[in-house]
């Protein structure tokens, strides 16, 4: 069930409380780690997700609306600009919000070291569910899911362009695996560009540095765990945090 997030300047019910005072589960992970499947399986109450917050509170700052037909590269560019002006990124929006408390309550999600660090400091009652997967796995899932949101322009569909995109993202052996998949070079290039650009904006190693060892964080390897196993681990984590 979706729950409203009330931001400054708008009306809020009398029982709404500042988000920093309310327990919250925050999903952390890049595109293709399996957030959507997990959220559907959990069935927890949810706040408006990252995409909605960006559409409604970030893009208008730069003259765009939720209806603007921006591809993933254009969205990355605008959110990068927002983070340059607001280092805490989307977490800064959350901190200003008010909600009617419920538990468990889930937000999808934060990305990158700076957003997570900001939330860790300014949302003292939040807990982090960090979903991880290799870039090759995320690329495969992007190709399989067929989400219209995953639009991006590619300048070329030749193999040399593809190898350039893969640098720093896929090893040579991983690229050879991807080239054996039954997809066109152009489609592979488009999805690899999303993975590569997201990687540049939100290095998952930074997230791990911030949260490693924190009692407020649960790390899940979505390549080795089924969705049911992930949900069970989260259920135990939720019980422990409110024991």
Assess if residue 170 is contained within a domain: no
Q: How far apart are CA 92 and CA 224, in angstroms?
A: 33
Buried b (16+ CB within 10 A) or exposed e, 121-143: ebbeebbbbbbbbbbbbbbbbbb
What pLDDT score was predicted for residue 146?
63
Is 186 domain-assigned? no
pTM of the complete model: 0.90
81: CATH: 3.40.50.300
Can you give the pLDDT at residue 152? 57
Q: How many structural domains compose the chain? A: 1
pLDDT at 158 over 60: no
Please give the helix or strand (H or E) that residue 38 lies within, else none. helix 35-42
Distance from chain centroid for Cα 35: 8
Distance between CA atoms of residues 69 and 63, nearest Å: 13
Q: Which tops the pLDDT comparison, 187 or 133?
A: 133
Does residue 159 form part of some domain?
A: no
Write out pLDDT tens, residues 27-64: 999 989 999 999 999 999 999 999 899 888 888 888 88
Q: Is residue 139 part of a domain?
A: no
231 in a structural domain: yes
Q: For 61-65, 72-76, 204-208, 231-235, which range has the lowest pLDDT when averaged over its residues?
A: 72-76
Q: Is the residue at 166 inside a domain?
A: no
Per the structure, the complete domain to which residue 59 belongs is given by: 17-134+201-237
- Dist. CA 51–CA 110, nearest whole Å: 11
Averaged pLDDT, 151-166: 68
pLDDT confidence bin for 242, thresholds 50/70/90? confident
The span from the CA of 70 to the CA of 76, in Å, is 10
Task: Check residue 220 and give its pLDDT.
Answer: 98
Q: Which long-range CB contacts under 8 A does 199-203 form with residues at least 24 apart?
A: 199/30, 199/135, 199/168, 199/169, 201/76, 201/79, 201/80, 201/111, 201/112, 202/30, 202/111, 202/112, 202/115, 203/112, 203/113
In a domain, 147, yes or no: no
Lowest mean pLDDT among 97-101, 135-139, 197-201, 236-240: 197-201
Q: What does each C-alpha distance from 230 to 26, 139, 155 come to in angstroms?
A: 15, 21, 38
Residue with tokens 């290039």: 189
pLDDT computed for residue 71 by the predictor? 79
pLDDT digits (tens, 9 = 90+) for 202-224: 888 999 999 999 999 999 999 99
Region of poorest pLDDT, from 8-12, 90-94, 108-112, 151-155: 151-155
Q: Does residue 208 form part of some domain?
A: yes
Residue 225 — very low, low, confident or very high, per pLDDT cuts 50/70/90? very high
Terminal CA-CA length for the chain: 24
**Higher local confidence (pLDDT), 188 or 131:** 131
Task: Please give the structure tokens belonging to residue 3.
Answer: 């729950």
């Amino acid at each position: 069930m979706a729950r409203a997030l009330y931001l400054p300047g708008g009306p809020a019910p009398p029982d709404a409380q500042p988000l920093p005072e309310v327990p919250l589960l925050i999903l952390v992970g890049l595109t293709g780690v399996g957030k959507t499947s997990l959220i559907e399986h959990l069935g927890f109450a949810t706040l408006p997700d990252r995409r909605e917050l960006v559409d409604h509170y970030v893009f208008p700052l730069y003259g765009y609306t939720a209806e603007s037909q921006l591809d993933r590269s254009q969205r990355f560019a605008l959110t990068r600009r927002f983070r340059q002006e607001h280092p805490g990124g989307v977490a800064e929006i959350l901190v200003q919000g008010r909600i009617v408390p419920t538990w468990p309550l889930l937000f999808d999600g934060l990305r990158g070291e700076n957003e997570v660090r900001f939330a860790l400091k300014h949302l003292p009652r939040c807990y982090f569910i960090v979903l991880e997967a290799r870039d090759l796995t995320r690329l495969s899932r992007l190709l399989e899911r067929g989400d219209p949101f995953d639009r991006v322009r590619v300048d070329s569909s030749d193999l040399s362009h593809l190898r350039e995109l893969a640098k720093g993202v896929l090893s040579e052996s991983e690229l050879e695996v991807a080239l054996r998949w039954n997809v066109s070079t152009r489609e592979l290039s488009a999805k690899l560009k999303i993975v590569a650009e997201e990687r540049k904006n939100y290095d998952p190693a930074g997230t791990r540095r911030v949260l490693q060892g924190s009692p407020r964080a649960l790390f899940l390897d979505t390549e080795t765990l089924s969705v049911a196993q992930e949900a069970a681990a989260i259920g135990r984590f939720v019980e422990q945090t409110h024991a």
